[in-house]
Amino acid sequence: MNKKVVLAFSGGLDTSYCAKYLSEVLGYDVYAVTVNTGGFSKEEEKELENKALILGVKEYRCVDAQEDYYNSCVKYLIFGNVLKNNTYPLSVSAERTIQAQEIAKFAIEVGADAIAHGSTGAGNDQVRFDLIFQVMCPDVEIITPIRDMALSREEEIEFLKSNGYEMEFQKAQYSVNKGLWGTSVGGKETLTSRNYLPEEAFPSQIKETQPSEMEVEFKNGEVVAVNGENFEHPVYAIQKIEELASAYGIGRDIHVGDTIVGIKGRVGFEAAAASVIIKAHHLLEKHTLSKYQQMMKSQLSDWYGNWLHEALFLDPVMRNIESFLVNSQKTVSGKVFVTLHPYRFILNGIESQHDLMSDEFGSYGEANRAWTGEDVKGYTKIVSNSLNIYHQINSAL
């Protein structure tokens, strides 16, 4: 019997090469698996299956991991208002971690001798896949033909043609990776430090130009309704917000950051739903959380985002931070009112029974109901005492 290899299959040139190489040259039975984290329609899934079978794989499976992706990762990115470098909602970083786990589970299920992916040696994904595989199935060999042989695109195409496989080999001008939590866009402009992506590079073109109102309702930090429509799972609420906000070209930007492999990287993205949800959620938290809850959340959320980005999702500290984030959301319920415009949105305000901005206790700059002027005089005298001592002793400095 041939050995079994599970291949992370996207249907692109690299994984198409891997499918043929693993079976024709290395003699494996190839089990191709695609993990849908929000990037494929049913029609696209069928096309991927047909492509995999034409390439000669023994078995193909598409795993729908959208709800698991949300439950295990995306909801914590919302709870933490996570934006890498205050910009990027970690669309691909989060996806790859979940995809790698699903592929590892499949490898264990079929009793695979090896597991393969099509990453090159230049990016973050190779680390994310390898690290998860080494933790979840440490006895399974990892094979990475593109990385190990440093193959060029032309070499891959020539091999496929010589093995009787024809596909549309013309390289797209922009590489696009679509998922539930955003779409990455790479092209010649993102390889520079100077140039922005042109309008046509973004998959979602502007369809709406007149402003419209959106009402986003949260319950314990999770989106449960949009414009009064309730959803059985937050995944579908996210998809609804994406549909409405992407029509305005909202959520576009370019992220510049430090890669896991130690170089600077630049990637374009559009993440309409993520942009609206994170900012709306953050506004609701400003009204419903204490000052120190917000301070601690901000620090822990930065660490959570960084460690997720750097492939450390399985470190137990991540579960510790998630427990904190869940506990912090007990009062984060209410409605956020948003106005959508081309390329931008406005957060108009919130309604919540947990709103701490209650005029029962005072109105900032207008009226105080819980203290007197004399109370403030005494408070400031005590608080300033340590500063007075410091400055009087060190007056000569």
Summarize pLDDT for 3-43 with one digit per residue, the tens: 999 999 999 999 999 999 999 999 999 999 999 999 899 99
pLDDT higher at 177 or 367: 177
With 80 as the cut, is the pLDDT of residue 53 above it?
yes
Give the mean model confidence (pLDDT) for residues 131-160. 96
Structure tokens at 37: 């984290």
Between 118-132, 232-246, 357-371, the lowest mean confidence (pLDDT) is in 357-371
> DSSP E strands: which ranges in 212-358?
212-219, 222-226, 229-230, 252-258, 264-270, 334-341, 344-351
Q: pLDDT averaged over the chain?
A: 95
* pLDDT at residue 393 in the model: 96
CA atoms within 13 A on the CB side of 213: 8
* Chain segment 272-330, per-residue pLDDT in tens: 999 999 999 999 999 999 999 999 999 999 999 999 999 999 999 999 999 999 999 99
Question: What is the bridge-based pairing of β-strands 182-186 and 264-270?
Answer: antiparallel
Question: What is the bridge-based pairing of β-strands 367-368 and 362-363?
Answer: antiparallel
* pLDDT at residue 372 in the model: 86
Which amino acid appears at position 36 of this protein? N
Which amino acid appears at position 261 of this protein? V
* Chain segment 314-340, per-residue pLDDT in tens: 999 999 999 999 999 999 999 999 999
373 confidence band (pLDDT: 50, 70, 90): confident
In SS3 terms, 322-366 reads as: HHHHHHHCCCCCEEEEEEEECCEEEEEEEECCCCCCCCCCEECCC
Angle CA 287–293–296, to nearest 5: 135
* pLDDT at residue 368 in the model: 76
Give the mean model confidence (pLDDT) for residues 372-377. 90
* Chain segment 234-245, per-residue pLDDT in tens: 999 999 999 999
CA dihedral (288, 293, 299, 300) positive or negative: negative
397 confidence band (pLDDT: 50, 70, 90): confident
Q: What's the pTM value of the predicted model, to 2 decimals?
A: 0.94
Structure tokens at 152: 């060029």
* pLDDT at residue 358 in the model: 75
* pLDDT at residue 361 in the model: 67
Is residue 37 within 8 Å of 65, Cβ to Cβ? Answer: yes
* Chain segment 346-366, per-residue pLDDT in tens: 999 999 999 999 777 656 666
Structure tokens at 47: 């096309």
